[in-house]
Structure 1
Amino acid sequence: MQSFTLGDFDISRVTEWHGRFAPVSVLFPSIPAKAWDAHRTWLDPHFWDAATGDYQAHMQTWVLRGQGRTILIDTGMGNDKPRTDDLMGGRSGDFLHQLAALGVRPDDVDTVVNTHLHTDHVGWNTQLRDGEWTPTFPNAQYLISKADFDYWNPANSITRKADFGDPADSRAAFNDSVLPVHRAGQAVVWEGSEHPIAPGLTLQLAPGHTPGSALLKLDSGTDRAFFVGDLVHTPLQFLTPGHDTCLSEDQRQAARSRLRMMEEAADTNALIIPAHLGGAGAAEVVRQGSGFAIKRWAPLSAPAPQN
């Protein structure tokens, strides 16, 4: 099962790619090796490959349908994108076919949420048609935080972190996956700490991973969920949210944002739904001492690791 219900909304995930991404010692430099080994029985194989030491990543989009709306949260890597990274560049995947299998056509999508503007979250914002990058979802508003729009815009003279990946890919992603929807008049570049979308759906700024990183809060009926983008990459961050990834622009700020989110999620029984988590994909947490513990996993089946 790759779908479940929260209040008025049906939640589905579309996995564009999953497999070994990079060594956890590189991605999570502050997490000691013994922490991975201590939780080997449930981290391996869906979140971590114990044999290789690699992080198991899922590039996926969350689809929300309810209240007469169809909303996509993040749009993955996209097809045909010119990237220096072998995984991200020149892809020819079946993302749109997977959406169609859910009964979602590009014309049906009314809202696209980009939790932040990293390359692997904006790819299907656009597709290549007759040599031009055009919005994939012609009837959608694309919600983008102004902080990220300004930060990643190559036209602005900003010194950006380049510890991981090629800065050329960030420039290319903005130019082929963000600017076209802005030029088409479909981008909503929002400011402030919060941005309401619909009854029970609110975007909230959670900076650190990028300056404009945001999470989407769902509050519908008796159900609550936080779609947190890259605020969480590994379930070990559920247990000890002070650990961050080398991919963040500001690791300390990201840790503060994550802790605030975790405290609220534990106090309100909200399901935490990250962008890249494999396995069941999401979990509820409870406070435990000075940290947290996993209370319950989401009712999703776990795709088998690809490698």
Structure 2
Amino acid sequence: MSTPSATAPPTVPSWTVGDITVHRIDEALLPPATGPWLLPGATPALVAGQDWLRPHFADDEGLLHIDSHSFAFTVGGLRVVVDTGIGNGKERANPAWHNLNTDYLQRLGSAGFPPDSVDLVILTHLHTDHVGWNTREVNGEWVPTFPRARYLTSRTEREFWAGFAMDEARRQMFRDSVIPVERAGLLDLVDVPAEGVDVVPGLRLLPTPGHTPGHVAVALTSQGETALITGDSIHHPVQFAHPAIGACVDIDPRQSEVSRRTLLGSLADTGTLVLGTHFAPPTAGRVVTHQGAYRLSPAP
């Protein structure tokens, strides 16, 4: 029996939305302790009460499976990456994020998106695990990973953090992953009204505040089909069944719940493909009504 070559390109899962192919660019499966820390309301008993979460999204003991990955696609002639994960070689307070050494860039290349080819990087928000591959280290300096790209985030998001009393860990993240992009003149700030804003035809930013004040979700439309990339408006499918469950790092927990309920209600039973930025494989699915709330029907 033959064995795979050590240099074989990594597998890159993908989904189609009309004539758009959305690729998942894997970075890392986060450790089991992530779930209880991030979503403390998702107790093992509550998780175990949702049979549909097993085996993909939770284990038999009620521990959540949580991933870090990006999405990449081409729309309107633009080659786009949504969120950039944790990054390699970054000094981080969270041990699971500290000084990673993953094959993320190889995976991005295997999907057909080498860094020099990317036109647009959309940042749903400016948290550590969504901006890490904004930059990479070259000769001891942090430089933009995507030198030809414009990096896009909401004006509300950047202005909030500009006035926020950051601890040292967050200051370090901005120093190595946000400020180098700004200094290179590559960061664009976009006003995102309540109805959302089109970046190009078929690509729209929708405001989903709460996790952070300027958080956005990313909507795709092609040939009558639709998809939505959640960012951190929804961290895990357990929140479909229990939208009141919030993340410990939500800036405004009440607003986060409102955004999540509004988003799920707008997606339920519509056939829209939902792509979770932290959802473990199979990662994508469709929102269906279930027992007075919702569940995710996976789309492998």
What TM-score, normalized to structure 2? 0.89
1:250-289 aligned within 5 A: 250-266=252-268, 268-288=270-290
Q: Does 1:34 align with 2:35?
A: no
Q: Does 1:84 align with 2:101?
A: no
Would you say the 8 A contact 1:8–1:67 is kept in 2? Answer: no
C-alpha distance in structure 1 between counterparts of 2:29 and 2:37, whole Å:
18
Unaligned runs of 5+ in 2: 1-11
Would you say the 8 A contact 2:269–2:287 is kept in 1? Answer: no
Would you say the 8 A contact 1:125–1:135 is kept in 2? Answer: yes
Q: Secondary structure at the match of 1:84?
A: coil
Match in the other structure for 1:215: 217
Match in the other structure for 1:178: 178
Match in the other structure for 2:106: 97
Deviation sequence 1:244-277 (CA, Å, 0-9, x none): 1212111111010011111111264312212100
Q: Does 1:10 align with 2:17?
A: no
Q: Which of 140, 143, 152 is the aligned partner of 1:134?
A: 143
Q: Secondary structure at the match of 1:122?
A: helix
Would you say the 8 A contact 1:20–1:55 is kept in 2? Answer: no
| Superposed displacement of residue 90, structure 1 | 1.4
Q: Secondary structure at the match of 2:282?
A: coil
AA at the equivalent of 2:128? T
AA at the equivalent of 2:286? E
List, as ranges, runs of 4+ consecutive aligned residues in structure 1 with deviation greater than 6 Å. none
AA at the equivalent of 2:274? I
Q: Secondary structure at the match of 2:65?
A: strand
How many equivalent pairs are there? 287
1:118-157 aligned within 5 A: 118-153=127-162, 156=163
| Superposed displacement of residue 43, structure 1 | 2.9
C-alpha distance in structure 1 between counterparts of 2:243 and 2:17, whole Å:
25
What TM-score, normalized to structure 1? 0.87
Match in the other structure for 1:305: none
| Superposed displacement of residue 240, structure 1 | 2.5
C-alpha distance in structure 1 between counterparts of 2:131 and 2:85, whole Å:
6
Q: Secondary structure at the match of 1:229?
A: coil
Unaligned runs of 5+ in 1: 161-166, 300-307
C-alpha distance in structure 2 between counterparts of 1:169 and 1:182, whole Å:
19
AA at the equivalent of 1:36? V
Would you say the 8 A contact 1:73–1:114 is kept in 2? Answer: yes
AA at the equivalent of 2:159? D
C-alpha distance in structure 1 between counterparts of 2:87 and 2:35, whole Å:
25
C-alpha distance in structure 2 between counterparts of 1:57 and 1:221, whole Å:
31
Q: Secondary structure at the match of 2:91?
A: coil
Q: Which of 5, 20, 29 is the aligned partner of 2:31?
A: 20
Q: Which of 192, 202, 206 is the aligned partner of 1:204?
A: 206
Q: Secondary structure at the match of 1:189?
A: strand
Structure with the largest fraction of strand: 1
Instruction: Give the percent of matched residue pairs that are identical in Structure 1 and Structure 2.
Output: 36
C-alpha distance in structure 2 between counterparts of 1:195 and 1:66, whole Å:
15
Q: Secondary structure at the match of 1:152?
A: helix
| Superposed displacement of residue 288, structure 1 | 4.1
C-alpha distance in structure 2 between counterparts of 1:226 and 1:137, whole Å:
23
AA at the equivalent of 1:174? F
Match in the other structure for 2:5: none
Would you say the 8 A contact 2:30–2:96 is kept in 1? Answer: no
